[in-house]
Amino acid sequence: MTDMLLQVEALKNHLPLEEGLLKAVDGISFTIRRGETMGLVGESGCGKSMAVNTIMRLAPNFAQIEGDVTYFPARGAPINITKLDPFGPEIRAIRGGEIAMIFQEPMTSFSPLHTIGNQITEAIRIHRTDDKKQASKIAIDLLQRVGMSNPMQRMNEYPHQLSGGMRQRAMIAMALSCEPQLLIADEPTTALDVTVQAQVLQLMRDLQSEFGMSILYITHDLGVIARMVQVVAVMYLGRIVEFTDVDSLFYNAKHPYTEALIQSIPKIGKKSRARLESIRGAVPVPINRPRRH
């Protein structure tokens, strides 16, 4: 069994729009190994979420996708995810089962019409067991393990009845319900206050040690990157401009864009009225961009 878990090679996702061809993801490549924690960083709109949606085969139907995403299961031959039918049984077995995702805003990711327990047990019954009682037992145990207070009561509550931190914990429980090999966390702490953010990050670190899974963090928060990951890919305008280990990112960045991101971080001890460093200009819209030379 190889230690390689996911290999992305020259992945592109181009969207034909009325204004022109939007190159949301333009030839990115990276690898994730078993047990590894990787960060994907960049400004809003650089293509981070679209990249992982492409990997998960959740991109729009009209998207023009090129390149290869190879998943290496614990048993069996490698699977080229980009060649699978996005609605077929093969990708459904991988998505949610082998590769799970924590979405950016749980309030919009959970169905408002179903209870938390109903939505978690649905995933368990699809991928693990069709027994309702067993699925419910697994769901309650997961809610307890992610630190949810009174998990039996929460099973019967709706998303709007939970706080932001509790919804995020419920989303983590649902993502881990099938014991995935890879967990993709898309801005998992953006909408949370600082104390709850720290609790959720520590929870994910503890659960990673327990389950032995790999994690791909997608964020623009370099503080989360410094605390949580081992290797980092920096995205700009749909491309990865730098791929390095986390120490080199902060102390020996090579790309000018990466250096500018580091310099824009507020620093303790700086004079209160001193201006923060900023990146001049605005990120252009990647429509009808000329070919790379």
- What CATH number is attached to the domain comprising 249? 3.40.50.300
What's the pLDDT at 290?
Answer: 59
What's the pLDDT at 187?
Answer: 82
75 part of a folded domain: yes
Cβ atoms of 225 and 218 within 8 Å: the answer is no
What's the pLDDT at 165?
Answer: 80
270 part of a folded domain: yes
Counted domains in the chain = 1
Contacts of 177 (CB under 8 A, 6+ apart): 120, 123, 124, 127, 128, 138, 139, 142
Range of the domain at 243: 1-88+215-293
Residue ranges in the chain whose pLDDT is less than 50: 1, 293
62 part of a folded domain: yes
277 part of a folded domain: yes
What's the pLDDT at 205?
Answer: 85
68 part of a folded domain: yes
What's the pLDDT at 291?
Answer: 63
280 part of a folded domain: yes
Beta-strand relationship, 231-236 and 37-41: parallel
Whether the predicted model's global pTM rises above the 0.95 cut: no
37 part of a folded domain: yes
What's the pLDDT at 269?
Answer: 67
Euclidean distance between CA atoms 46 and 284, whole angstroms: 10
What's the pLDDT at 272?
Answer: 63
Q: What angle do CA 220, 213, 182 make, to 5 degrees?
A: 60
143 part of a folded domain: no
What's the pLDDT at 70?
Answer: 95
Query: Can you name the residues that pair with 120 across neighbouring β-strands?
Result: none
